[in-house]
Amino acid sequence: MPHEPLDIDQQVEDLIRGPQYALPQAEKDRVLLDVLRERCHKIALVCPAYGRFLDRLGTPPETWRSLADVPLLPVAMFKHFFLTAVPPSEIVRELHSSSTSGQRPSRIPIDKTTAFRQTRALASILKEHLGGQRRPYLVLDAAESAAAGDTLSARGAAIRGVGNFASQTFFALRKTPEGDLESDWPAIEDFFRKYAAQPILLFGFTFMVWTRFVERAEERNLQFNASQAILLHSGGWKKLAARAVSKEQFNRRTAAVLGCSPEAILDFYGMIEQVGTVFVDCASGNKHAPAFADVVIRRPHTLEPVAVGEAGIIEVLSTLPASYPGQAILTEDQGVLLGVDDCPCGRKGSYFRFTKRIEQAEARGCGDTFAQAREI
Amino acid sequence: MVVFRITPEGMHPAADSLEPLVEGLNLNREWLAKIPIDNLVALFADFAGKILRDPRTKSLEGCMFLSAWLGENNLRQLLQLNLNGNPAYLDGFQPLGRNYLAAKPQGLAAMWMAGNVATLPMFSLVPALLAKNVCLMKLADPDPAGMDKLLAVLAEAQAGELRGAELLEAVAVIWFDYHNRALNEQMSLAADVKIVWGGAEAIRAISALPRREHCGEIVFGPKYSIGLIDRERLEGDPAKLEDAVAGFVRDISVFDQRACSAPQTIFLERNAKRSLREVGEIFARQFAKLPPKPGLDSYTTMQIANVRARWAMDENRDVIASTDGANWTVCLDRELALKEAVQSRTIFLTEIEAWRDIIPLLSPKVQTVGLAFGRSEDALEFAEAAARAGVARCVRPGIMNNYESPWDGKLLINHLVRWVTLKL
């Protein structure tokens, strides 16, 4: 079936520029599906590995009837293959995931178009949560984490992305000679002395915010009276859950240290494989997909979309990537779909909550011989 | 209460320590040792019939095979093989030449079970009871997964004066959290013989527990199993090939491929008649005949999605997968290696030049090889080489998961008795 000519670049631009949470789900499905169908088809033509993936495991793009029909690419594939849809000369930056336990990191090639879109898309989302005003920005990390170069880590990408809302940027942590990170209290206290009375922005990775800032500040009985502060944070909850720190406790105690409302502590869900596409908490504590992206929660085993109220594996869809096949990614996270178009906060579309990373739940018996080497 | 006991009534909190359970079991040692072996065999034969009829057990996965295995003829053969041809050694001294020989129970058999096969505990418990050991068995999961139901039916079995409920006085099936080192130590120190089933981590941890000097240890697992189809079978009668593939698919589907005897990689010789893809399609047709899996956890679903994508994206590999979710997957390649087990109806078909190529891959880690050979001379030659390399079993497709003695190269009942000589 021939594709109708479609200016998908213009469509993506319109989605980025427009309001981020106004499209009802049915309309969003239609708009995004047109773009993704065309984009996946084009990428398959120039990225042989992705072409084989669609040929062998997918269905032809023209038969896709909903976003759930777009073939799911498991996120781990970015560790196993260098998936690029552009020639090396057009790659302006390579994003890398943090590699834990000796695993290979993800490698994400970014061309100029994608980089530009990612920056503006993140700005467009955050604008709806932060307003348009630039703010003094305190990064709860070290300057080295955001250093510029040809490659960029997940942390660096996030710090720099949020930094688009900064009038001035400050760093709250510093590297010790041993390579650890410690709080730079003179710098932190100086920041709050100067800016606590005005709207400010803070960002950090959840575990570091807690261990290097909140707990240390509590030990020192510090409270900063920054009533107009907004703290964005992202990253796994596993280490905090191990310390029996709930999200409610995190928000309450962090807000108490900053002197702001717990509702100004905003968790967002995102990943290096889809930079620019973030799912930010609303005031009701639910995560919403922006206009140019979506989320589908999949049932284990059948991989069918779940019903409202059901938990499953999180799939994230985005129209931003043009330089790699990151349009429909099956994550290694679990979440629960809470509703569609009816969040109390008023935002439209599907909304969900992240629940946990997917982990091997049980010993898989004596046939699980090479479990230590598992890397598939 | 941190120790839970699984009884015919279900699972319930039992104690904070294993001491009272161990004391209770030890009180039954004398009594159990005096039950004639014929009575024990007859009781288990009655149990074998009952589990197939009883609504509580008849639909348990592996019940049919368990029933056949518990049959009187099978148990007698098992005892003969394990006890130097004469099960009566278990009842007392028997003449052997000019002297006498007896097989006495070790005492208390402590068993740590793996959680992968619902009926597995019975394949450990019954041999230990036939050898007249009192049994302390720890299940892997808090969910008894049918063991409570099997115990309930065993309690109702009867042979002459011997009732199953009485025999269960010599058994304590328990569960406690595997992190509880104190209880694991108590269990290990109470044992006269330890039987450990499970993965590498569990085996290492349990083997490291302190034990009494005389206490032996019998370890089952971890293992990996494979299949091998030779050129003659691939080029020969299509019906025979179809049968072999159907057998392999049965071996793959039973216990969701979590048993150490389930094939994970099947090697096939390059041949003039059928391409790797064509053989993959035969497997796909057989998989499509299976009923859908009852369910699947997120982790395994993700593993299956990952392996499918990896094989699909690689120009030197290929994949055929069910379209109804993560139901079954056939991965095709030419890499001479044992692939990481994904399980849950995921099979790696690997084309090789000749069956001799896989000999270097064999080691004591490989438990069972499913052999679909057209040339029986070659099958024998392969089996000799495989056995020398450490493989425990070479069997035809379709019976790879059939528990038998020896298992993992061991005659279990023989390890569960002490041989005593009398020379007058």
Is the pLDDT assigned to residue A260 strictly greater than 90? yes
Q: Work out how many domains chain A is built from and give that number.
A: 2
Answer whether residue A154 is part of any domain. Answer: yes
Answer whether residue A124 is part of any domain. Answer: no
Helix (H) or strand (E) holding B283: helix B276-288
Residue B62 touches chain A, beta carbons under 8 Å? no
Q: Find the CB nearest B259 among A359, A367, A370.
A: A367
Q: Do A141 and A264 share a structural domain?
A: yes
Give the type of residue at A103: Q
Q: Do A68 and A46 share a structural domain?
A: yes
Is the pLDDT assigned to residue A160 strictly greater than 50? yes
Q: Which residue in chain A has the smallest CA separation from B304?
A: A376
Residue B264 touches chain A, beta carbons under 8 Å? yes
The larger pLDDT score, comparing residue B294 to residue A374, is at B294
Chain A residues within an 8 Å CB radius of B293 = 301
Residue B295 confidence (pLDDT): 87
Residue A81 structural domain: 12-108+282-357
The distance of A370 to chain B (nearest Cα, Å) reads: 6
| Domains observed in chain B | 3-221+410-422 (3.40.605.10), 224-395 (3.40.309.10)
Residue B196 touches chain A, beta carbons under 8 Å? no
Answer whether residue A277 is part of any domain. Answer: no
Quote the ipTM score. Answer: 0.89
Could you list the pLDDT tens digit for every one of the 424 residues in chain B?
Answer: 799 999 998 899 999 999 999 999 999 999 999 999 999 999 999 999 999 999 999 999 889 999 999 999 999 999 999 999 999 999 999 999 999 999 999 999 999 998 867 789 999 999 999 999 999 999 998 888 899 999 999 999 999 999 999 999 999 999 999 889 999 999 999 999 999 998 888 899 999 999 999 999 999 988 999 999 999 999 999 999 999 999 999 999 998 998 899 999 999 999 999 999 999 999 999 999 999 988 899 999 999 999 999 999 999 999 999 998 999 999 999 999 999 999 999 999 999 999 999 999 999 999 999 999 999 999 999 999 999 999 999 999 999 999 999 999 999 999 999 999 999 9
d(CA B48, CA B52): 7
Range scoring the smallest mean pLDDT among A319-323, A355-359, B399-403 = A355-359
Q: Do A265 and A152 share a structural domain?
A: yes
Q: Which residue in chain A has the smallest CA separation from B197?
A: A366
The distance of B273 to chain A (nearest Cα, Å) reads: 24
Residue A1 confidence (pLDDT): 45
Is the pLDDT assigned to residue A235 strictly greater than 60? yes
CB contact under 8 A, B313 and A52: yes
Q: Two tokens at A122?
A: 């993140």
Q: Do A256 and A288 share a structural domain?
A: no
Answer whether residue A275 is part of any domain. Answer: no
Q: Do A137 and A259 share a structural domain?
A: yes
Overall residue count recorded for chain B in this entry: 424
d(CA A15, CA B44): 71
Domain boundary among A234, A269, A304: A269
Q: Which residues of B225-252 are buried (b: 16+ CB within 10 A; e: fewer)?
A: bbbbbbbbbbeeeeeebebbbbbbbbbb
Chain B residues within an 8 Å CB radius of A49 = 313-315
| Cα torsion angle, B199, B200, B202, B207, sign | positive
CATH for A325: 3.40.50.12780
Q: Do A265 and A286 share a structural domain?
A: no
CA angle A144, A148, A154 (to 5 degrees): 70
Q: Do A222 and A201 share a structural domain?
A: yes
Mean pLDDT, residues A13-28 taken together:
95
Residue A371 confidence (pLDDT): 34
Answer whether residue A375 is part of any domain. Answer: no
Helix (H) or strand (E) holding A95: strand A91-96
Q: Do A246 and A309 share a structural domain?
A: no
Residue A149 confidence (pLDDT): 64
Q: Find the CB nearest B296 among A73, A301, A369.
A: A301
Q: Do A151 and A94 share a structural domain?
A: no
Position A59 confidence tier, pLDDT thresholds 50, 70, 90: confident
Residue spans of alpha helices (H) in chain A:
8-17, 25-46, 48-57, 77-80, 112-130, 154-162, 185-195, 206-208, 215-219, 238-242, 247-258
Q: Do A241 and A171 share a structural domain?
A: yes
Strand order, beta sheet including B10-15:
B10-15, B3-7, B171-175, B134-138, B108-112, B193-197, B216-220
Answer whether residue A245 is part of any domain. Answer: yes
Q: Which residues of A245-266 are buried (b: 16+ CB within 10 A; e: fewer)?
A: bebeebbebbbebbebeeebbb
Q: Do A102 and A161 share a structural domain?
A: no
- List the 374-413 stretch of B: residues with Cβ below 8 A of A: none
Is the pLDDT assigned to residue A145 strictly greater than 70? yes
Is the pLDDT assigned to residue A373 strictly greater than 60? no
d(CA A323, CA A343): 34
d(CA B349, CA B25): 49
Residue A2 confidence (pLDDT): 47
Domain boundary among A246, A269, A292: A269
Q: Do A261 and A137 share a structural domain?
A: yes
Q: Find the CB nearest B197 among A366, A369, A373.
A: A366
Answer whether residue A274 is part of any domain. Answer: no
CB contact under 8 A, A372 and B222: no
Quote the mean pLDDT of chain A: 89
Answer whether residue A2 is part of any domain. Answer: no
Chain B residues within an 8 Å CB radius of A370 = 224, 338, 340-341
